[in-house]
């Protein structure tokens, strides 16, 4: 580890600068009022632009890889500081049923697409995880198990970011045109839109009730990251059990940092930390995720993303359509009657 850190320093500094820039840009009043993209999403865009237009020295590559692989794990674990067991309890039984069926349905649909369209082994899992759980962070967390190609990861991140952003704009329009009740709309946005920032953007101008419930429901989806990655890991090992060292393979793939996420949720639920300390940890975690997403952008070459192919673009589109319609149907069934304390 010691020889790695000095070699990684130039690339880490570049990722850090991009992350700080992304945080500053995401705080612009125009963006906050009309397009709350969040620092993580801005960092991906800055990193991608930097790769395309700025010469990246070879000395920076080790640090970029370090940020993408190691810093990311800390960032995903740190998502636990935004969630407590009380939050999960607050969504109630109907909310948990909604999240569970939404996530399960998304994976089943992704596997069906895998049969209908030639998508390869990893892309359906990456797209489904980003769509069902928490966008870009979930994609790269799933990749820690799947070990997909960089262009598949970058494509999946770009896809869930694009369609999540479209949902942020289109869902409120649909709500106004169709007169969806506020409880149903909050459930729909919280269960079907990819990123937390996008959920906030889609509900903040609808009503405080929709905003609060959608945000809690969205954060609760993050709690599914651990069981989902364990299931993917088990299925992956089963597919690979022809390998001689099956147990070694299991240990190598297991996403231990997601166990760290669960431990942090439990710690956060005990309320042992002062609120200002928790706020600082949440902001630090956002910066860590922005660093790792800047690294992902720097790893992204537009030509390689485009090489993933038309089938992959179609798959991302149909997954977005499915999760939007499936989430709306579930929300109507579960919350289309009196709203009782979430």
Q: Tokens at residue 294, please?
A: 């800047």
Write down the pLDDT at residue 340. 43
pLDDT for residue 246 is more than 50:
no
Q: What percent of the chain has pLDDT over 90?
A: 20
Write down the pLDDT at residue 107. 94
> 238 pLDDT band (50/70/90 cuts)?
low
Q: What is the pLDDT of residues 109-163, one digit of tens each?
A: 999 998 888 788 888 999 999 999 888 778 878 887 888 887 788 788 878 878 8
Dist. CA 306–CA 298, nearest whole Å: 16
Write down the pLDDT at residue 239. 58
Q: What is the pLDDT of residues 33-71, one digit of tens each?
A: 666 667 777 887 898 888 888 888 888 888 888 887 788
pLDDT for residue 87 is more than 90:
no
| Coil/strand/helix, residue 207 | coil
Write down the pLDDT at residue 342. 40
Only one residue has tokens 């995720």, namely 289
Highest mean pLDDT among 18-32, 50-64, 273-287, 319-333: 319-333
pLDDT for residue 244 is more than 60:
no
> 20 pLDDT band (50/70/90 cuts)?
very high
Write down the pLDDT at residue 2. 47
- Structure-model confidence comparison of residues 304 and 121, the more confident one: 121
Task: Please check whether residue 215 is in contact with residue 196, taking contact to mean a CB–CB distance below 8 angstroms.
Answer: yes
Dist. CA 163–CA 170, nearest whole Å: 10
Write down the pLDDT at residue 205. 75
Q: What is the pLDDT of residues 163-212, one digit of tens each?
A: 887 898 899 888 888 888 999 999 999 999 988 778 877 887 788 788 88
Work out the average pLDDT over 12-27. Answer: 90
Q: What is the pLDDT of residues 91-111, one digit of tens each?
A: 788 999 999 999 999 999 999
Domain ranges across the chain: 4-335
Candidates 187, 190, 237, 195; CA nearest to 337 is 187
């Amino acid at each position: 580890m010691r020889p790695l850190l000095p070699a990684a320093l130039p690339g880490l500094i570049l990722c850090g600068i991009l992350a700080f820039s992304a945080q500053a840009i995401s705080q612009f009043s125009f963006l906050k009022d009309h397009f709350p993209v969040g620092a993580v999403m801005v960092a991906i865009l800055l990193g991608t632009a930097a790769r395309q237009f700025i010469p990246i020295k070879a000395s920076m590559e080790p640090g970029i890889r370090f940020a993408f692989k190691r810093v990311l794990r800390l960032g995903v674990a740190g998502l636990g500081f935004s969630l407590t067991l009380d939050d999960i309890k607050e969504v109630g039984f109907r909310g948990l049923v909604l999240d569970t069926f939404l996530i399960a349905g998304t994976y089943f649909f992704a596997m069906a697409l895998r049969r209908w369209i030639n998508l390869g082994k990893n892309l359906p899992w990456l797209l489904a995880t980003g769509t069902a759980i928490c966008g870009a962070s979930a994609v790269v967390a799933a990749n820690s198990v799947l070990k997909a190609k960089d262009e598949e990861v970058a494509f999946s991140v770009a896809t869930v970011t694009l369609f999540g952003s479209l949902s942020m704009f289109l869902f409120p329009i649909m709500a106004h045109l169709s007169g969806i009740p506020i409880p149903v709309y909050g459930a729909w946005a919280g269960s079907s839109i990819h990123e937390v920032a996008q959920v906030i953007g889609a509900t903040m101008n609808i009503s405080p009730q929709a905003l609060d419930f959608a945000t809690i429901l969205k954060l609760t989806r993050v709690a599914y990251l651990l069981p989902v990655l364990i299931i993917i890991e088990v299925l992956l090992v089963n597919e690979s059990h022809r390998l001689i060292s099956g147990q070694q393979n299991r240990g190598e793939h297991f996403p231990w940092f997601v166990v760290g996420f669960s431990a942090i949720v439990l710690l956060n639920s005990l309320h042992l930390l002062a609120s200002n300390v928790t706020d600082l940890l949440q902001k630090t975690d956002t910066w860590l995720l922005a660093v790792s997403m800047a690294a992902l952008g720097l790893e992204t070459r537009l030509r390689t993303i485009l090489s993933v192919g038309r089938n992959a673009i179609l798959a991302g589109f149909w997954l977005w359509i499915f999760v939007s319609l499936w989430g709306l149907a579930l929300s109507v069934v579960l919350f289309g009657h009196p709203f009782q304390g979430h």
